[in-house]
A and B are shown apart, each in its own frame.
Chain A
Amino acid sequence: MKKIAIVGNPNVGKSVLFNVLTKRYVTVSNYPGTTVEVSRGETLIDNVKYEVIDTPGMYSLLPITEEEAVARRILINEKPDFVIHVIDGKNLERMLSLTLQLVEASLRVLLVLNIMDEAEKEGVTIDTHLLEKELNIPVVKTVSTAGIGIEDLKKRISAHERRL
């Protein structure tokens, strides 16, 4: 089965996105040899089944905490077909650094700008097309708590699937 890993800082809405994507077959288990819990589920996008992995919060590819180490091990060992990097739309400047690292690691990254409702409330507007060009990866705006942007995200995943 193809795999999707959801990565990003803590508190950016990774788990909410995970829950929205995987309505069935969710398992929670400790990552081998650690006390860190990892949730796995399944989702169907354009008739293709994916395993979705909700990784622990990470700030950088160079781990400091056990959680970060586990998140990286998932990327290294499970070789996900897609890596969804979820970031807080209000805080691009603090979070894009990890996006650059993920791209640099040749992972297939999709960038999700989450919590866009709050960002817009704060007067933050983001030019996603330009950002896509700058990073050379698909960028999707979402409000995962309200389910906004999820269909778009799925479309981008299947579009990429076809192109490969």
Chain B
Amino acid sequence: MKEDYKGPVEYSIEIAVETIEILLKDDYGLSRRAIALLLLQDDREIREMVKRKEPGALGKIDDILNEAKSHYINPITYELALERQNAVKAITARVVKVKKGNAPFREKLSRLTMNPLTGLPILFFVLYWGLYKFVGQFGAGTVVNFLEGTIFEKYLNPFITGIFTKIVPWEVLRDLFVGEYGLITLGFRYAVALILPLVTFFFIVFSIIEDTGYLPRLAMLIDRVFKKIGLSGRAVIPMVLGLGCDTMATMVTRTLPTKRERIISTMLLALAVPCSAQLGVILALLEGKPRAMFIWAGTVVLIFLFVGYLTAKLLPGERPSFYMEIPPLRLPKLSNVLTKTYVRVKWYFKEVLPLFLTASVLIWFGQLTGLFNIFINILKKPVKLIGLPPEAASVFLFGFFRRDYGAAGLYDLTKRGYLDGVELVVACVALTLFLPCIAQFLMNVRERGWKMGFGISAFILFFSFSAAYILNFILTKTGVAL
């Protein structure tokens, strides 16, 4: 039996391994190479063994270990697993033949989800029924209309406004609670009647998709497209998470192996991935207008790919490699889905409610001091430039605070009939691309540093208006009726 398999390890791990091999003198029952690799993976038992057998070598070994580790963002264990898995894949590709048609149904379905020919229609099917039909039509349409239109607008708001009119004689104070941007009539209503149901419906769908094991398959499916924009399929996970909450997803970009991938995905998350609340409101806005929805989705996807491609071209770096363990497909358990949804919604709501209430107070204060109007006036120009009525300026001011808050403002604006079809689509695109919420901005700064954080925001501010301007130009010139 020859022992010429050296293990498919990368160059600098290889150097560390070979140096440690030379330092080790004793017999360990396993090859010195295996011992070196285990030391690199922080194996405690092996370390103890080395300490016992040749304590003198440990100091030098530790230096090599630390040096080697500093070259990798991921734990060495992960790098080695990746390399080994690639080697295994190469071997099985040559050695194993699988006759199609004999696999069990689950296995067949699993393959279908990853084959571009069948996978893309399946993806479309999932998006159509999960997002468009369930979150969009049912959640954003039926449920929100009921909560918003019937419960709040018909009963709660008039009732509470009535009480406040009776017991609070000062209009200024009354406005704080029940005015146009009041704590209850706006902040609380946005959070409870709009964002809460939308986020709940979204997370139900998301949890189901997650529990079936579809996400890693989606990652495999999209891997090829993502490679073109400098990302690997692995980045699908933060991107899909971003549809839940971009802030959370930005944190998850840490799991991406290269700095380049992390920058590209942070950028794309901030620019072109709408979060659950925003997505929900936009689905609510465009509900019943499939053509408008199509243009919005198409534009955002195009921009996602375009900006991704551009950033990938601008940032030098190696092509990412990709390995992911694919768990078996399974039917999700209802209790799991409900628990997950509950935990996520609770977390989201807890974060969003105080922010929305704070926003109401800030706006109230801004109106009192006249600051609000100054900002609105500044924003009116660019808003007009992209073909929107001046009333939309407030939406973008809200958007600065939080994108979902801005989207909620847009919802009110449309309900009052300020926007026609084209204007609505342009506003939706602009707001989807618009600056991320404060939380995400802070996360960008934390994860990528001040320069990158501000750079991304500045680029997005400029880019979102430019894209909206161009879209408005095209739509008006071609005279599409929406």
Taking the nearest CB of chain A, how far is it from the CB of B105, in angstroms?
Answer: 12
Q: Which residues of chain A have C-beta atoms less than 8 A from B7's C-beta?
A: 100, 104
Please state if A105 and B30 are interface contacts (CB–CB under 8 Å).
Answer: yes
Please state if A103 and B5 are interface contacts (CB–CB under 8 Å).
Answer: yes
The answer to whether A16 has its CB under 8 Å from any CB of chain B is no
Q: Which residues of chain A have C-beta atoms less than 8 A from B92's C-beta?
A: 92-93, 96
Q: A62-B41, A76-B29, A104-B31 are in contact. Are A136 and B4 (CB under 8 A)?
A: yes
Q: Which residues of chain A have C-beta atoms less than 8 A from B2's C-beta?
A: 136
Please state if B95 and A127 are interface contacts (CB–CB under 8 Å).
Answer: yes
Please state if A131 and B99 are interface contacts (CB–CB under 8 Å).
Answer: no
Taking the nearest CB of chain B, how far is it from the CB of A140, in angstroms?
Answer: 14
Q: A122-B103, A136-B2 are in contact. Are A69 and B30 (CB under 8 A)?
A: no
Please state if A125 and B34 are interface contacts (CB–CB under 8 Å).
Answer: no
Please state if A93 and B88 are interface contacts (CB–CB under 8 Å).
Answer: yes
Please state if A97 and B84 are interface contacts (CB–CB under 8 Å).
Answer: yes
The answer to whether B163 has its CB under 8 Å from any CB of chain A is no
Q: A134-B91, A134-B95 are in contact. Are A106 and B34 (CB under 8 A)?
A: yes
Taking the nearest CB of chain A, how far is it from the CB of B115, in angstroms?
Answer: 17
Report A98-138 CB contacts with B as 1/0, cut-off 8 Å: 00110111111100000000000111111100110011111
Q: How far is the CA of A101 from the CA of B31 in the complex (A)?
A: 10
Taking the nearest CB of chain B, how far is it from the CB of A137, in angstroms?
Answer: 6
Report B78-115 CB contacts with A as 1/0, cut-off 8 Å: 00010011011101101111111111100100000000
The answer to whether A77 has its CB under 8 Å from any CB of chain B is yes
Count class of interface residues, chain A = 35 or more
Q: How far is the CA of A108 from the CA of B34 in the complex (A)?
A: 14
Taking the nearest CB of chain A, how far is it from the CB of B307, in angstroms?
Answer: 35
Q: A101-B34, A104-B31, A160-B1 are in contact. Are A130 and B87 (CB under 8 A)?
A: no
Taking the nearest CB of chain B, how far is it from the CB of A38, in angstroms?
Answer: 16
Please state if A125 and B30 are interface contacts (CB–CB under 8 Å).
Answer: no
Please state if A104 and B5 are interface contacts (CB–CB under 8 Å).
Answer: yes
Taking the nearest CB of chain A, how far is it from the CB of B345, in angstroms?
Answer: 33
Q: How far is the CA of A62 from the CA of B89 in the complex (A)?
A: 20
The answer to whether B373 has its CB under 8 Å from any CB of chain A is no
Q: A104-B37, A105-B31 are in contact. Are A122 and B102 (CB under 8 A)?
A: yes
Q: Which residues of chain B have C-beta atoms less than 8 A from A100's C-beta?
A: 5, 7-8, 84, 87-88
- Among residues of A, the one whose C-beta sits closest to the C-beta of B325 is A94
Q: Which residues of chain A have C-beta atoms less than 8 A from B81's C-beta?
A: 97
Please state if B6 and A92 are interface contacts (CB–CB under 8 Å).
Answer: no
Please state if B88 and A123 are interface contacts (CB–CB under 8 Å).
Answer: no
Residue B89 contacts which of A76, A93, A105 (CB distance < 8 angstroms)? Answer: A93
Q: A93-B92, A101-B34, A134-B94 are in contact. Are A123 and B84 (CB under 8 A)?
A: no
Please state if A101 and B102 are interface contacts (CB–CB under 8 Å).
Answer: no
Q: Which residues of chain B have C-beta atoms less than 8 A from A126's C-beta?
A: 95-97
Q: How far is the CA of A61 from the CA of B5 in the complex (A)?
A: 16
Q: Which residues of chain B have C-beta atoms less than 8 A from A93's C-beta?
A: 88-89, 92, 96
Please state if A124 and B5 are interface contacts (CB–CB under 8 Å).
Answer: no
The answer to whether B367 has its CB under 8 Å from any CB of chain A is no
Please state if A92 and B30 are interface contacts (CB–CB under 8 Å).
Answer: no
Residue A97 contacts which of B45, B88, B95, B103 (CB distance < 8 angstroms)? Answer: B88
Please state if A92 and B37 are interface contacts (CB–CB under 8 Å).
Answer: no
Q: A122-B102, A126-B96 are in contact. Are A96 and B30 (CB under 8 A)?
A: no
Report B1-15 CB contacts with A as 1/0, cut-off 8 Å: 111111110000000
Q: Which residues of chain B have C-beta atoms less than 8 A from A69's C-beta?
A: 45
Q: Which residues of chain A have C-beta atoms less than 8 A from B99's C-beta?
A: 123-125
Interface residues of B in 1-49 (CB under 8 A from A): 1-8, 28-31, 33-34, 37-38, 41, 43, 45, 49
- Among residues of A, the one whose C-beta sits closest to the C-beta of B27 is A79
Please state if B29 and A61 are interface contacts (CB–CB under 8 Å).
Answer: no
Q: How far is the CA of A127 from the CA of B31 in the complex (A)?
A: 29
Please state if B91 and A135 are interface contacts (CB–CB under 8 Å).
Answer: yes
Using a CB–CB cutoff of 8 Å, the interface residues on chain B facing chain A are 1-8, 28-31, 33-34, 37-38, 41, 43, 45, 49, 77, 81, 84-85, 87-89, 91-92, 94-104, 107
Per CB-CB distance, the 4 closest pairs between chain A and chain B, nearest first, are A123-B102, A123-B99, A105-B34, A106-B31
27 contacts between A and B (CB under 8 A): A61-B30, A61-B38, A62-B38, A62-B41, A69-B45, A72-B45, A75-B29, A76-B30, A76-B49, A77-B29, A92-B92, A96-B88, A96-B92, A97-B85, A100-B7, A104-B6, A106-B31, A106-B33, A109-B1, A121-B102, A122-B107, A125-B99, A127-B94, A135-B91, A136-B3, A138-B1, A160-B1
